[in-house]
Structure formats: C-alpha cells, structure tokens
Amino acid sequence: MMDRAALQVILLGMFLMSATSDPVKKKKNVDIYSFYINSTVTSRYATTVITSRVANTLNESQEIQFEVKIPKNAFISKFRMTIEGKTYDGVVKEKEAAQQQYNQAVSRGQSAGLVKSVGRTLEDFKTSVTVSAFSKVTFELTYEELLKRRLGKYELLINAQPMQPVADFKIDVHIQEKPGISFLEVKGDLSTGDLANAIKTTRADKDFQVWVTFYPTQDQQTKCKSCGENGLNGDLLITYDVERQNPKGEIMVSKGYFVHYFAPSDVPRISKNVVFIIDRSGSMSGRKIKQTRLALLKILSDLDEDDHFGLITFDSEVSLWKRELLRATEANLENAKSFVKEIRDRGATDINAAVLAGVDMINRHPREGTASILILLTDGDPTTGETNIEKIMSNVKKAIGNKFPLYCLGFGYDVNFDFLTKMSLENSGVARRIYEDSDADLQLQGFYEEVAVPLLTDIQLKYPGGTNLTKTSFSLYFNGSEIVVSGQITDNSVESFTTEVIAVSKGSNVTYQDTIMTKDPSDVPPENENFMQRLWAYLTVKQLLDRQVLLKGQEKEDEKKEALKLSLKYQFVTTLTSMVVTKPQEGEVEVANKPKEGKGGDGYTADVDSDDDDSAFLLHSDAMDYSDAMDYSVMIHHPLPTYGSPTIHTTTPPAVQVHSNRFLLPVVGQSKPLCFDVPLPHKLRLLQDSASEFSMNGESLSENHGFHQIAIHYKTNHHLIISTKSISYHNGQDKVEILWGQELTQHNTDGVSLVVLENEMNVTMGNIGVVIISHKKDGVKFLWPAIWEHPKDVNLTGVLGKSDISYVKTEGSQTPTLKMKDKEVKTYLETVSDYRFHSTPVQECWLVPFQAVMEAEISDFTVTQL
C-alpha cells in the first residue's frame, strides 16, 4: 500500500525522436499482446483511436505504462482504461473545476508538476497504472484533427513505438473523400525494408475510398530501419490529395452543418513583391547564419522573373542591399547572391527599425496587380533601438495598415515566439518556428515554398443562410494550400445552399458562386455522420484560441467563454479544459498539461497525492500552438526544496547587481514557502546521498544568477560536468562530449540515464533524478538544478536536501516573526523568481537566515572542488 505522504507525478516534457538513439529496454514480465491504431479520415477530418492491451505476467502487482505519440495539432477527446472488467473513463471539465476536484482529493497540500515542450510534429503521451498479478489492462486514447493542405497534399502521421514486438499489431486507415482521391503515397520509417511487404493499399468506389492496412508479423517488427529487439519504432506517413474538378470548391452539408473547401488551381499566378528581413546579430553566429545564407541562395534561385524583391539585414544597424525593389532578373539575382554570401553576424537586434524599413521599401514601390509579402527571420528579442514589444507591434501595424502580410520566422528557442506570433497575426500573417537542426536551411526553404506562388488576394467568402461561421476573410491564397470554412445552416428545411467567393486575381475581381442541394443522399457512412459537426467545433475552437492573443477586455472574455463551452460540449482537451480520469490506485491524483509552443513553455504536468479515496487523472492543455513533441513521463517523489534567484529592488535600472542565489523551501501546511540567500560567489554541495554514492555540486560566479557549472558524481566511475556551454560525461572508460542546442541526445548505461534537450538536461543516476535547466537572462547564460525523483527512505543532505522543516507565524509582533524549532526568527516577505521552471514564475516567500533553516553554517556546505 502506498504511503499516505504527499506524492507527486511529473510528466516530464522532452522531445523523443521517432527513432531514439538508445531505445528503452523491453520491460520484463509485461506482455503487450495487442496494439491497434485505427484512423478514419472523412473529408480531411481524422479521428484516430489507439488501443493497447497489456498483461502483467508477474505473480505480483506492478506498474504498467502506456506511451504513444500524437500529432501536435490534434485535440485529445477520449481516454479510458479497462482493468479487471471495470472501465475508467475520462471526463473533460473546465480547468478550474477539474483542479478543484484534484485539490479535494489531496490530503496534504498541493504539489506541482511541469516541464517544457520541444520538438516539431508530435507530442508524447505517457501514463501508468498498477495492475494486479496475472491481470490485464486495456488503454484507449482518441484524438481528432483537421488535416491541413500544404504544398498540394495532406499528411496523416501515425507513430508506432510499442517498445516490444507485438503478436497482434495492426494499423488500419480508412480515407473517404467525396471528390475522389487523386494520389496517395505511404512513406515513413515503417514503410522501409521488410515492413513494406506488410502494407496493403485498397481503392474502391472510383477512388472515393481508400484503405491502408499495416499488419507486420512479430519477426518483421524487428527488421525495419529503426527497429530492433524492442520492436517497431517509427512513423507511417500517408500523403494524399483529392480531385479538384470544380474550381468553386467542394461543399458538404450534413445534419445542419456545412464545410466548404476552396482551393482553385485554374487561376494565373500573381507576381509578388517580397522583402526578406534577415537578423545578422551576434546570436546568429555559427551554423544559424550559414544555414540562413544557404536557404536564401536557394530561395533567390526560385524567384520568378516577374517577381520583385529586396534584401534587408540588421543588427543594431539596418542595411539595405538596394533601396528599391528590383526585378528578379538573372543579373540582379547574381548580385543579390554575392551580397548574401557576405552576410556576417555581429551586434545587437533592432527588429523595429528593420521591419519598418521593409514596410517602407514596399510602400515606396507599389505595383498594381501584384501581391506583397514581408518575411522576417530572427533568433532573439529586440535589444536595441525600440525594445518595447507593444510599441514595436503598434508601429508595425500602423505602417502596414492591412495592406500586405508579415510572416515571422523564429530561429531556435531564445526567440520571443509569443511576440512574433502576435505581430504576424496582427498583420494577416503567421509565425513559424525554425528548429536549430541540420535541416534548418530546408525548413526555411519549405516555408518559402508555401508562400511562393500567390494566386488570389483579398478573399471574402459569403454564405447566405449560414451562421456561426468560422473565419471567412483571407488576405492571400497560395497555390498548394486550401481555405476551409465551416458553419451551421440556419434553416434545415431549405432544399439548397449557396456559397459565394469574391477575390482579386491580378488586379481584377473574380467571383465563384455555387449552389448544392441539401437533400441529396449523404455520402457519409452512418458511423461518421457527426464528423461535420465535430469538424466545425474543432475549427471554431482552434480559431477562437488563436484570436485570444489579439483580443482584449470583454471581447476576449466572450470568445474565451465560447471556446470553453464548445470544448466541454465536444470533450476536447484544450487550453481551457482538463480531462479527469478516476484511477484504481490508492488515492492518487494526477495533473497533466499539454505543452506550449514557445521558449521553454509549460509541458504536460502531473500531480499525485496519496489518499484512501479513488484517484483522479487530469489532462489539460496550456497552449494554443501545438507544433512540438512531448513526453509525459511518470515519476513519484516527495516535495523537495525548489530554488530561485532573488528579485533585487533597485532604482537604477537596467543593470541589476546579483549578490546572492536565493533558494526556495516549500513547507507542508503553509501557503508561503521559506527562502534563504547564499552569497556569491560559492561552490556548494547541492545534494548528496552517501548510501548510493550520489553527489551534486555547483559553482556560482560573482554578480551572476544561478550556477555556471554543475558536477554530478555517481559511485566511483561516473562523472558528469555540466557548464553553460557544454556537457561532459565520463564513465571510467568512455568520454562523451555534448553541446547545448544540438539535436536530442540520449545515453543509457549502468544505471545512468542522460537526456539532453534544447535548454534542459534530465539526469538519472541510480534512484535519484535531477533536471538541469539552462537559462539566459540579461544576455548571460546560467544553470539551475531541480530534483524530480528520489526514494522516500533516502537520507539526502546538501543545500537542496532539506525537507523536514516547519514554521508557525507569530502574531502581534511589529516585525514579522516565525517560530521554527522552538526558536523565534525575524523574517521579511520577499519575492523570488523560480528558475526551476523555464517560465520563471515569481512568488512570495518568507526570507530567513541560512543558519535558521539549515541548522549549520554556509561553510559546512562548501566544497573546495566540484
């Protein structure tokens, strides 16, 4: 039986590649005897159900995990577990109500979970449950998404990683498209080698329907490109497009709802005016600037001769290749390429002046019947010139005046992606993250290809007799993309429904009008007849949440309420809702957050507290943009000290002097934690467990936040040195060197697990787990440690090992006083930035002397060498 002390489950946020470099070993005595993925796509709306059936073949209870990856753009809409004939279903509730239910189940205080999101297209969902000896559990997860057309095709991405060969493994995909399927291709890791023979494609009804099945044998599951003794590990990527014989688009009506897909291809391309605004500040040094040059050279080669273009580079100064837009002639392009080859990194970042210069270049050279586009590429915050983000957005919006779109490309994770997102949305564009990876230049080229061929401008879609419409106004339509509008029909008795599209093609107005009969027999099978209503709800909620960043006041609240209402009605896990699942544990309570696309961002989090009642599992989302992979890992541990850095009050900004590191210590039963300062510089014993021969030390420098170097030692032969620039691990024989910011790196050996992410490292040595977060503040990088796992019976020492503290606030004294271990200690209410989190939340704490908390001197915790 679990201890009744507070337990916490953290779903750690980490990017797991489809094919990890060091796969997790198959767990003994756990048999995944059936693994099904069933995906039904009806008119681009995909509903996918993942069902895993697992047996505990051990003669005692054990924890069994369920781990799957889902597309970031999807909403989870159902989760259930069936154990010993009893089903535990998830119920989506308003986030605050779900949290209240969680709090009521917590016997002592409330713990917090958290971490971050990194990656590109997938999120990793992981949970677990304790299963009795020789018993079985069935996990079932459902998610929904509207497939988006890019570069002339839709992509359905399915990931399979059961982590052991499965006797009964099946993927079934059924695609139904009313106009017919023009082409279909199956790609991905799971279509290579012997596995290609396990894929079968069947077409029917004049290509109106296609079935793709993937039934690999257990032997085949070990012989693909990314497979091994642990079975399948990779993606199945199904790409397709539909027939487009009607330029007016495809209209479908079902049960009072309609959807209109508009993607004409029979219109001439519009020549464009494009200005590239390229950040060349010092932070773009190295691979970033090289990849940017490569991408620009390729993009310039792809310009059409009747296009006009401009190049602007900026740091603290703005440099124009030419003051005016030039036609993309062969001679001009060669001169431009010579300019691009000489772009070098230097200086600060004046985004305001650079974007305004780009706007001015387009405004000074208007060309009737063309489409103008601004593309900004930057990897950081504005650091010189106008640095107030609100003022920059106001300046840019006023200068553009809704005349053309601004597309913002954020390079890496140091960039303020929220700022770029809002600025682009305010100016009819989108923001896209460019990941610091070996293919960054291809990512840049890929984005440009999506906007390379404008076909229509100023598109307005009208639906007489329609209401509750999704977005109906678009500034540009590009070749290979698609405009989707959905809504409700006000009068279900009408026999026909009319659509009208008004747009501009090469300076001339064009109109597309179509009428369909609403009483025609439906082409939608009965089992999918509600798909259009759910498609409308999905698209409406997505757009309402996207608009939140632009709205203020009552309008923002009204749209938030509408998004919440629809999320609850259709059981979508979004930023506003949580899914609560009762689990047959000894009173556990879990909380999980969907990851955020942004710098660090919040990740899926979970909280667990031990009680005698049934437990609750909460799954919810903290993000509006889902473009990355996430891991919800379940770890149980007791609350330990968290840590932060003091907020120094000064009247001479912006140069803040840092004189100490401030550590945070939660206290059971108290709303405010304690905090204490350790003067800089110092070398501290942060954590030690003599029994397992684990120790962690940290070194801080004068006037700098946090730690510039942290060393972790395990037994006699494992040594890990983490600095702000690199990571070095030595196991007595081999030495591994890793740089921050490179691709996901994993290393597992002899009870040591190392996972290096973009700005985070997860370390497990023996039975102790820590997370090292890499922060950047005022241009200076520093490290911060966080403990996330250790056995309850371990006797930890060190600055972070204190956990048995309590206090009582003494009333009546003029100076705030706390009673701690029969001693009265004077205190002050201060604030602290909690660097355990990437978002560095600020909270209040009672500041007390180091000696009062630790019952020892600082010198007792110092070390001579790391």
Domain encompassing residue 85: 30-245+574-593
Helix (H, G, I), strand (E, B) or coil at 451: coil
How far is CA 636 from its chain centroid? 24
What pLDDT was estimated at residue 766? 86
Longest dimension (CA), the chain: 85
Q: What's the pLDDT tens digit per position in 121-141?
A: 777 777 778 888 889 999 999
Is the same domain home to 766 and 794? yes
Q: What totals of helices (H) and strands (E) does the chain contain, helices first? A: 10, 52
Is it the case that residue 839 has pLDDT exceeding 80? Answer: no
Query: Which among 552, 568, 584 is the end of a domain?
Result: 568
Between 117 and 621, where is the model more confident? 621
Asked which of 347-361, 520-534, 742-756, 849-863 is least confident by mean pLDDT, the reply is 520-534
Q: Residue 435: which pLDDT band, with cuts at 50, 70 and 90? A: confident
Residue 139: predicted pLDDT: 93
Question: How many Å apart are CA 620 and CA 99, to the nearest integer?
Answer: 10
Res 4 pLDDT > 80: no
Q: List strand residue ranges (DSSP E) for 412-492, in order.
A: 431-434, 454-462, 466-467, 473-478, 483-489
Q: 389 pLDDT exceeds 80?
A: yes
pLDDT per position as a tens digit, 57-75: 998 888 888 888 888 889 9
- Mean pLDDT in residue range 93-102: 73
323 and 447 assigned to the same domain: yes
417 and 481, same domain (yes or no): no
Distance CA 567, CA 77 (A): 9
Q: Is the dihedral of CA 67, 68, 74, 78 positive or negative?
A: negative
Q: Are residues 388 and 468 in the same domain?
A: no
Q: pLDDT grade, residue 13 (50/70/90)?
A: very low
* 234 pLDDT tier (thresholds 50, 70, 90): confident
Q: What is the CATH number of the domain that holds 42?
A: 2.60.40
Q: What would the two tokens of residue 349 be?
A: 């970042």
Residue 531 maps to a domain: yes
Q: In this structure, what token pair is assigned to residue 247? A: 């330029």
Cα–Cα distance measured from residue 735 to residue 749, given in angstroms and rounded to the nearest whole number? 13
Model confidence over 641-689: pLDDT tens digits?
444 433 323 233 334 456 788 888 888 777 788 999 898 888 899 999 8
Together in a domain, 729 and 581 = no
Please report the pLDDT score of residue 181 as a whole number. Answer: 94
Q: What is the mean pLDDT of residues 843-849?
A: 88
**Contacts of 137 by beta carbon, 8 Å cutoff, 6+ apart:** 53, 54, 56, 64, 81, 82, 83, 129, 131
Range in 368-382, 555-569, 581-595, 598-612 with the lowest mean pLDDT: 598-612
**145 and 276 in a common domain:** no
Strand residues in 607-743 grouped as ranges (E): 615-621, 636-637, 642-646, 660-665, 674-679, 682-689, 694-700, 709-714, 718-723, 726-730, 735-739
Answer whether residue 6 is part of any domain. Answer: no
- pLDDT at position 455 is 95
Mean pLDDT on 167-182: 94
Q: Tell me, yes or no, whether 538 and 678 share the same domain.
A: no
The helix/strand/coil state of 526 is: helix
Q: Is 611 helix (H, G, I), strand (E, B) or coil?
A: coil
Q: Clarify whether residues 66 and 90 are in a common domain.
A: yes
In the numeric block, which tokens belong to residue 464? 């007489």
Q: Is 232 contained in some domain?
A: yes
The answer on 479 and 418 residing in a single domain is no
The stretch 376-395 carries a mean pLDDT of: 90
Tell whether the model's pLDDT for residue 521 goes beyond 80. no
Instruction: Calculate the dihedral angle through the C-alpha atoms of 361, 362, 367, 368, rounding to the nearest 10 degrees.
Output: -150
pLDDT digits over 816-826, tens only? 888 888 888 88
Specify if 323 maps to a domain. Answer: yes
Domain count, the chain: 4
Task: Report the phi/psi class of residue 701: left, alpha or beta, with left for phi > 0 and alpha for psi in -120 to 50.
Answer: beta
Q: How far apart are CA 96 and CA 105, in angstroms?
A: 14
589: left (phi over 0), alpha (psi -120 to 50) or beta: beta
What confidence category does residue 23 fall into, taking pLDDT thresholds of 50, 70 and 90?
very low
> Which pLDDT belongs to residue 104?
58
Residue 608 CA from chain centroid, whole number: 23
Q: Using the predicted structure, report yes or no on whether residue 600 has a pLDDT greater than 90.
A: no
Res 587: pLDDT: 46
pLDDT at 469 over 70: yes
Other Cβ atoms closer than 10 A to 122: 24
Residue 609, domain member (yes or no): no
Q: What is the mean pLDDT of residues 212-224?
A: 89
Crossing angle for the helix pair 287-302 and 330-341, nearest 10 degrees?
Answer: 180
523 and 431 together in one domain? no
The confidence score (pLDDT) of residue 638 equals 27
Q: Is residue 293 part of a domain?
A: yes
pLDDT of residue 358: 95
pLDDT single digits (tens) 329-359: 999 999 999 999 999 888 888 999 999 999 9
Confidence of residue 2 (pLDDT cuts 50, 70, 90): very low
Q: What is the pLDDT of residues 561-594, one digit of tens each?
A: 999 999 999 999 888 888 777 666 544 545 444 5
The CA-based dihedral angle spanning residues 392, 396, 397, 398, taken in that order and rounded to the nearest 10 degrees: 100
Residue 132 lies in a domain: yes
Q: What share of the chain is helix, strand, coil (3-state, %, to 5)?
A: 15, 40, 40
Average pLDDT taken over every residue of the chain? 81
- pLDDT bin (cut points 50, 70, 90) of residue 16 is very low
- pLDDT of 120: 66
Q: Is the pLDDT of residue 12 over 70?
A: no
Choose the weakest-confidence range: 15-29, 45-59, 847-861.
Answer: 15-29
| 380-389, 514-523, 715-724, 764-773: the lowest-pLDDT one | 514-523
pLDDT at 529: 66
Q: Which of 559, 478, 459, 472 shows the shortest CA–CA distance to 258?
A: 472
Q: What is the separation of C-alpha 342 from the centre of its chain, rounded to a whole number of angstroms?
A: 35
How does residue 748 score in pLDDT terms, banded at 50, 70 and 90? confident
Final residue of a domain: which of 414, 434, 452?
Answer: 452
> Could you tell me if residue 713 is inside a domain?
yes
Which residues of 57-164 form beta strands (DSSP E)? 62-71, 75-83, 86-94, 122-131, 136-146, 154-160
User: Would you say residue 608 has pLDDT above 80?
Assistant: no
- pLDDT on residue 28: 63
Q: Could you tell me if 40 and 125 lie in one domain?
A: yes
> Which tokens belong to 822?
């029969």
pLDDT at 21 over 80: no
38 falls in which pLDDT band (50, 70, 90)? very high
Average pLDDT of 811-815?
71
Where among 399, 429, 452 does a domain terminate?
A: 452
Judged by phi (left if over 0) then psi (alpha if -120 to 50, else beta), residue 803 lies in alpha
User: Strand pairing of 406-411 and 371-378?
Assistant: parallel
Average pLDDT for residues 791-819, to the nearest whole number? 81
Residue 468's pLDDT is 94
Does residue 278 sit in the same domain as residue 412? yes
